[in-house]
Structures are given as C-alpha cells and as structure tokens.
C-alpha cells in the first residue's frame, strides 16, 4: 500500500489497478438505492407519495412503532464515520473514507440483507458528532460507527448508546474484539494453554486493541499479564503522560508497572501477540523470542504487523491470523457485524449488550469446529478447512454464520431485556434466515421433509469424490438418507479425514468396493441375466461391472441393496444414461426418459424440460414428458403450471415446430384436464399474464407458468444455461431424470455439494412417493 508513494511490486500495482477499475466501472461506486415498490402509473404515484402517503404518516404519528411496518427503517443501518482512523490508513478524512463505508454497506447487504446509508461526516468534535448522529434516530434502525479514532470513539459510542433507543455498535471496537476473542479461544485450545496463564503483548491502544483486550479480560486473560504498546512505546507507570495523569482512561486500564519499554521487550516470552496498530511493527527477531507455540493476531489493515510467511519462517510453531483474505485465519469484523445487526434488528433491540456480544464470540468459535459447509467448501475450493492452526475461525463466506449468530443475538437480547419484539420461535426464525443464504432453502423444504420421513438408502456411484463425501455428511446430519458409497475403502477413509468430516464407514455409511467386493459375482450375474440377449457374454458382463460404478449402483438397486442412485459427477451424461436405460429401465407406463432442471430466480422459480435427453421429441413424446415433469414439480409442493413454448403465439405460425407444440399441448390438456396449461406461446407470454391475455383472454393458464416445455433439447438446454448465467444470484437444481423405474439422478460434472444434497433429498422423496403410491 503506497500511502506515501513508496514503490509498488507488480502484484500490488495490479491490485491497485484492479481496485480502481472495480470502483469506477461499470457503475461508479459500489452501492445504490433501489425502490422496493412499483411506481409505474398514476395510482402507484398517489399511493407512494401524496395523497396516499399521508395515511402511514399519521399512523406513525399515533404509534411510532409502526415506522417498522411502514418504512424501511427497521432494516436500515447507518454506517457512520468521520474518517479519523480509516483501516490502517489513519486520519484520511471523511471523503476518502467513503469507499470503505460503501464497502461495509455491500457486506451488510450481501451477507445479511441489511440496508445501509453510508454517512461520512466532516466533524471532528466528539460532542458535535454525538449531536449530529443522535439527531438521525428517526431515520435509522441502527448505528454502526466505523473508523473513528480512539480515544474519542469510546466516549462517542458510550454517549450515543445512552441517548439512543436503537442499537449502537462501534465495529472496530466490538466487531474486532468478538472475532479476535473467538480466534484466541480456539487458538489456546489448539495449543493447550490456559487463558488465565498466558502473557499477552499488544501493539496498539486504540479502538480495536482496547476493545479486544476488554473482551479477552472478560473471558479470563489476567490484566496483569497484558502489556500494551502505543506509538510511544510500552504504556507504563514511569512514562511522562502517565505520571502527568494524561493517559486516557482506556489506556490507564492497561498501564503497567514494568521495566519493559519497547515492543521487543514485551513480546519476549509472550504467548500471544495482539496487533491493532500499524504495518510491519512486529519483526521476525521479536517473534523468535516468543513463548512456545505462540499465537499471533496481527490485525492491522491492509498490511499486518507481520506477514504470515515471515512469522512462520521465524517460528514454524506459531499460529497466525491477520486481517487479510489472502492468508488463512482472516480476522475481519465482517464475520460479525452483518449478523449481530440482523439479530438485533429482527428483535427490535434497543441496545447491543455484552450478552449479545458474547453470544457472537461463542457462535463464531463453535462454528470453526463444526465441519465445513458446502458453500464454504465451494467458495474456498482446494483449501484445507478442518479446525486447526490454519482454520481457527470461520470463513467470511460461511453461510452458517447468519444462521447461528443472528438467532443467538436475538436470544441474548431477549434475555438481557432489550428486545422490543422478542423472537418467540427461534427455530422458525433460524429457518426464515435461510432466505439470505440458501435460496433453495424454502423451495426444497417439502422435498427435505419427505426425505426425512423416508430416509431411504441412496447409493453414490462416485463415492470417492470429495463433493459426494461432503454431501453425504450433510445428508447424514440432516437425516435424509442412508448412504452407500461406491469407492475403495482406503481412499474413502483418507479423503474423509482430509475433508475433516465425521462420517464413519461401516456404521454411518455402507461401502461397495469396486475392486474387491464379495457381491461381485452376484452383480455380474445379474448384469449378464439382464443383457444376455444384447450380445453380452459372462466375460463382458464381468468387465462391464468392473468398469462402471454407475452399473454397480444400478445393479445394487436392481438387487435390492439400495433404493435410489446419484451418479454423473464424472464422465458424459449419455454414458450414464446408457447404463440406467439398460439396468434400471423405464417406469411402468413411461415411454421415454427425459430430464428437467429447476432455476430459482429472484422473481420466480422455473422448471425447464427436456434439458438433457430427447433431441427432437414428437408431440406425443412431449405430452408424456410434460406429464412426468408436472408430477415431479408437485414433489416441491407446487401446483404445476405449464406453458408449451414456441416461436409461435397461439397459431401465429404454421411451421412444423409450432404445430408440434400446439399438438403437444392439446394431448396433454386432454389427458390432464386438472392441470393449468396452455400453448403454443411465446416465452414472454408464458411468464406474463398480461402479454398472454392480449392474445387469449380466456387462457386456462393463470399468472406465470412455472414449467416450460421446450420444443427441442437444444432449445431447453440453451434456455436453461443462459438463464443460469444471466441470473447471477440464481440457484439451480437438477438435472432430474424423469421416467426411470427407480429414483436415479444423473448429475453433471459441475455439480456442487449443495446440488448433490438437494438431489439426494429429491431421490429419497421419489422413493417415498413410489412407496406411498404402491400403498
Ligand atoms: N482485522 C480487523 O478486523 C480490524 C483491524 N483493524 C486495524 O487495527 C488498526 C487500528 O485500528 P483502530 O484501533 O481503529 O485505530 P485507532 O486509531 O483507534 O488506534 C490505532 C492505535 O495504534 C497505535 N499505533 C500507531 N502506530 C503504532 C506503532 N508504530 N506502534 C505501536 N502502536 C501504534 C496508536 O497509538 P497512539 O495511541 O499512540 O496514537 C493507536 O493506539 C488498523 O490498522 C485497523 O485497520 C481495526 C479494526 C478491525
Ligand atoms: C476491518 C476494519 O474495520 C478495519 O480494518 O478498520
Ligand atoms: Mg474499521
């Protein structure tokens, strides 16, 4: 970082250029304000503004609590700074601080759905700042103070907390304290040291450092074991400012009677280093003098007090955390502030209490010890993410942070008596938070519920794939399946351990070893019995079973060793389909296989068929595929609404594909009069009732279709992939294989852990449905 025009390395120069471009284009800055209500006609105008707006105004005048109902205040946080301690850049002023504050706004929104006004104030006088901020109470549901320097920040926060009836939180103090305390607790657990016995050397005595120390002392660190340096050296009783009584109260709390004068003096023999000060102040030489297995929290941003590679070179036994995302153990207050505010806003908290902060520390520390979630594994692919020296605290993209922290905060707020709208049902609240993380969460719930009730046996052809192992761990934890892995036991064991998972081969999951399994003879004989009229000899059967895990999985289902299969993570879809066609076959009454994918878009959920199997199905085949697809849509608790889409709009074209889609619709509608459907129609008419009604006011289809039947595989597959990419926030499920005699889903090599989990649940829900249908 070249605040003072020091030369940059090529990598730093590239980062600088990329950062400038990121902030400049395609839109200037990082955040904008978007209306949440339609404003497209005169009536909307009269509701949004005068005269309609007067009614909620008068209601709020009568009952101020209604502001949370009628305005966005209850979800709006002010990120407020005067720019006096911006990151480690120092006093760069409020205008230069704006990119940081916009950045905080993005994180609030992205991680917890909290809206932010970033407010940069050109005011240094603490009392005036308090007046200005306090006057903003009608606007805001919470105050996140940011990058205001010590010691003024302590006074400002204290006074605002007293005066205001909304949560006030100084992120640099308490956010940092919460996360670094969680890291400290976990680090001490790893090195087996007693918190009451450790010596802590500290660089920095500002907002972050003092708040960290206060929490750490609350957790058991002995104040007499803490030695703090500020820019003038060790804070000790013989210093001029100490003798003259000029130390701020925050520093006075950590003033020591000691002969130590420099950071090097206090680091000597220390078990813990806490840095919230400036770049590079901790040297390798100092680190060498630390106690055994030292814990180094070098948190200055953007450049830590020491880089991890230097610290590790000096002391290979050290555990180090920094504020940087390009090293393990990133201590960044983003792990906390979005979620503490989410919980506080949702219960109408009037304060952030010590209990709420400690709840965060506990949840963050515990989360690092739970095994990694699918999103985290995906977001940090290739990194070792099992609790240990390089994984002391959760990753910022851990979707479980919100699910754990916000409810814990809401519960603590209620316990501390500051929740004006206490959360009655924490489990339901936790579930509702899933909307911020798993867009599939709500949508998949009926499927998961069915799967939990059935808990059928699912066999995974690519058992050795780490994504499968992670998905199986989730399936076990969620209680949605009894898994069987096809894979070599030694490889499975090694990968389970590497991924830090808890599942046990034998007791939790069954295993079929493709190289050496007592059932081999039974399996190849079954293969031969099934295929002997297709020119397959016993030798060919043996080699086919050896070569294909999908064949083994299909035979396991056939022989009653499993109820459903997930395959397709490696190799071509068609190769897997061939095995399924030969060995599992079609369901009674089904005339072909087909595939369907689902997309959860911001505004709607769409199912699309046939995305993978039939090139150019006939009208009769399409009607059958549509029927199978509609049945599968019901599995999600949704009434299917079908549109047979085309380039033609209700007869506007007489080309063969238009006639085919029209006929497919007629056949389907005749066979399934109870289902809402129509066609052939344009894609926009499928999704918009008004577009459709302009052509056909009495269409049987109402609202937006949720199942689009496309004329060809090309059309379906292209539409699906284009939508998938253009809707960057979208989540996809599938491909769902339709028409198989037993629940089998052939995924694709790009499948994520989450998708495997979802498809497992769907396969088990299919097993349940088939069993219930059999009576
Ligand atoms: N990783 C994370 O999540 C977070 C990291 N931080 C980082 O912590 C640092 C401090 O932030 P904050 O507390 O808000 O800022 P403050 O301005 O409140 O405090 C800075 C402190 O650092 C001290 N200091 C400055 N230079 C040195 C030096 N060379 N040696 C020892 N002490 C020094 C100052 O001393 P004096 O009192 O004498 O002026 C002061 O006590 C920043 O780099 C910031 O980026 C902050 C919040 C979160
Ligand atoms: C992360 C943060 O808030 C800081 O470095 O100031
Ligand atoms: Mg900050």
Q: For ligand 2, atom 4, which residue shows the shortest CA distance?
A: 87
- Quote the pLDDT of residue 438: 45
> Cβ(377)–Cβ(310) under 8 Å?
no
- Quote the pLDDT of residue 382: 47
CB-ligand 1 contact for 229 (6 Å cutoff): yes
- Residues 510-530: tens digit of each pLDDT: 999 999 888 889 999 999 999
CA dist 553 and 189 (Å) reads 43
Of the candidates 614, 622, 627, 593, the one whose C-alpha atom is nearest the C-alpha of residue 736 is 593
* ipTM for the complex shown: 0.98
CB-ligand 1 contact for 299 (6 Å cutoff): yes
CA 254–ligand 1 middle distance (angstroms): 16
CA dist 768 and 452 (Å) reads 10
CA dist 714 and 665 (Å) reads 19
**Minimum-distance ligand 2 atom for the alpha carbon of 334:** 1
Burial of 255 (0-12, 13-18, 19+ CB in 10 A): middle
> Cβ(239)–Cβ(231) under 8 Å?
no
DSSP state of 715: H
Q: How far is CA 771 from CA 456, 742, 764, in A?
A: 11, 11, 11
CA dist 651 and 665 (Å) reads 12
Angular region, 687: left φ>0, alpha ψ -120 to 50, beta rest: alpha
Residues forming a β-bridge with 679: 644
- Residues 2-44: tens digit of each pLDDT: 445 668 877 677 778 878 988 998 789 999 888 888 887 888 8
CA dist 300 and 120 (Å) reads 22
CA dist 526 and 528 (Å) reads 5
CA dist 61 and 58 (Å) reads 5
CB count in 10 Å sphere of residue 184: 28
Give me the residues of the chain with pLDDT under 50, please. 2-3, 375, 378-379, 381-382, 438-441
Query: Which are the catalytic amino acids?
Result: 49, 104
Residues with a beta carbon under 5 angstroms from ion ligand 3: 147, 172
CB-ligand 1 contact for 323 (6 Å cutoff): yes
**Minimum-distance ligand 1 atom for the alpha carbon of 332:** 3
Q: For ligand 1, atom 16, which residue shows the shortest CA distance?
A: 206
Q: How far is CA 116 from CA 84, 452, 467, in A?
A: 20, 39, 36
**Minimum-distance ligand 1 atom for the alpha carbon of 149:** 18
- Quote the pLDDT of residue 384: 61
> Cβ(31)–Cβ(114) under 8 Å?
no
CA 87–ligand 2 middle distance (angstroms): 5
CA 197–ligand 2 middle distance (angstroms): 29
**Minimum-distance ligand 2 atom for the alpha carbon of 301:** 5
């Amino acid at each position: 970082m070249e605040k003072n025009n020091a030369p940059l390395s090529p990598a730093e120069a590239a980062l600088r250029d990329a950062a400038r471009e990121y902030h400049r284009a395609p839109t200037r800055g990082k955040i904008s304000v978007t209306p949440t209500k339609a404003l497209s006609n005169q009536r909307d105008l009269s509701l949004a503004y005068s005269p309609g707006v007067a009614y909620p105004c008068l209601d709020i005048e009568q009952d101020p609590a209604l502001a949370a109902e009628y305005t966005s205040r209850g979800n709006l946080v002010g990120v407020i700074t005067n720019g006096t301690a911006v990151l480690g850049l120092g006093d760069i002023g409020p205008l230069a601080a704006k990119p940081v504050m916009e950045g905080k706004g993005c994180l609030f929104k992205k991680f917890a759905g909290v809206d932010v006004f970033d407010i940069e104030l050109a005011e240094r006088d603490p009392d005036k700042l308090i007046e200005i901020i306090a006057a903003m109470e009608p606007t805001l549901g919470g105050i996140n103070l940011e990058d205001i320097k010590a010691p003024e920040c302590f006074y400002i926060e204290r006074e605002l907390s007293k005066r205001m009836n909304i949560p006030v939180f100084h992120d640099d103090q308490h956010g940092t304290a919460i996360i670094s305390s969680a890291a400290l607790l976990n680090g001490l657990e790893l090195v087996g040291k007693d918190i009451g016995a450790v010596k802590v050397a500290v660089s920095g005595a500002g907002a972050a450092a003092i708040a960290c120390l206060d929490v750490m002392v609350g957790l058991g660190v002995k104040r007499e074991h803490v030695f703090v340096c500020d820019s003038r050296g060790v804070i000790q009783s013989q210093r001029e400012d100490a003798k003259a009584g000029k130390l701020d109260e925050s520093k006075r709390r950590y003033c020591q009677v000691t002969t130590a004068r420099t950071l090097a003096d206090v680091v000597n023999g220390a078990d813990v280093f806490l840095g919230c000060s400036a770049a590079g102040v901790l040297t390798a030489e100092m680190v060498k003098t630390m106690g055994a297995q030292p814990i180094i929290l070098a948190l200055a941003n953007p450049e830590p007090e020491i880089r991890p590679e230097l610290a590790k070179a000096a002391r290979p036994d050290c555990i180090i955390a920094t504020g940087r995302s390009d090293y393990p153990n990133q201590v960044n207050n983003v792990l906390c502030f979005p979620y503490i505010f989410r919980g506080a806003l949702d219960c109408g908290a009037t304060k952030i209490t010590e209990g709420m902060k400690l709840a965060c520390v506990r949840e963050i520390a515990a989360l690092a010890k739970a095994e990694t979630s699918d999103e985290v594994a995906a977001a940090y692919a290739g990194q070792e993410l099992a609790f240990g020296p390089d994984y002391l605290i959760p990753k910022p993209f851990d979707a479980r942070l919100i699910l754990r922290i916000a409810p814990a905060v809401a519960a603590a707020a209620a316990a501390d008596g500051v929740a004006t709208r206490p959360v009655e049902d924490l489990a339901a609240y936790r579930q509702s938070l899933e909307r911020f993380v798993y867009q599939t969460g709500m949508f998949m719930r009926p499927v998961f519920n069915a799967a939990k009730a059935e808990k059928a046996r699912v066999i995974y052809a690519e058992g050795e794939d780490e994504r499968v192992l992670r998905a199986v761990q989730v399936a076990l934890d969620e209680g949605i399946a009894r898994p069987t892995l096809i894979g070599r036991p030694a490889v499975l064991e090694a990968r389970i351990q590497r991924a830090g998972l808890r599942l046990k081969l034998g007791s939790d999951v069954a295993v079929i070893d493709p190289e050496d399994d007592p059932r081999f003879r039974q399996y190849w004989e079954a293969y031969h019995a099934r295929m002997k009229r297709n020119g397959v000899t016993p030798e060919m059967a043996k080699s086919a079973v050896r070569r294909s895990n999908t064949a083994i999985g299909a035979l396991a289902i056939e022989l009653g060793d499993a109820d459903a299969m997930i395959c397709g993570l490696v190799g071509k879809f068609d190769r897997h389909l061939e095995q399924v066609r030969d060995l599992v076959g079609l369901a009674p009454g089904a005339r072909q296989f087909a595939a369907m994918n689902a997309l959860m878009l911001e505004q709607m959920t769409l199912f699309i068929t046939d995305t993978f199997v039939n090139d150019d199905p006939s009208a009769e085949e399409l009607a059958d595929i549509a029927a199978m697809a509609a049945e599968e849509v019901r599995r999600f608790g949704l009434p299917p609404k079908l549109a047979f889409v085309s380039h033609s709009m209700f007869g506007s074209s007489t080309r063969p594909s238009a006639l085919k889609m029209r006929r497919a619709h007629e056949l389907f509608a005749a066979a399934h009069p109870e289902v809402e459907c129509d066609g052939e129609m344009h894609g926009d008419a499928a999704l918009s009732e008004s577009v459709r009604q302009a052509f056909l006011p009495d269409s049987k289809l109402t609202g937006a279709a949720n199942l689009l039947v496309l004329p060809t595989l090309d059309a379906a597959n292209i539409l699906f992939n284009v939508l998938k990419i253009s809707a960057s926030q979208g989540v996809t499920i599938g491909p769902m294989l339709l028409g198989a005699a037993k629940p089998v889903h052939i995924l694709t090599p790009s499948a994520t852990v989450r998708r495997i989990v979802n498809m497992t649940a769907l396969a088990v829900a299919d097993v349940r449905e088939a069993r219930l249908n059999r009576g």
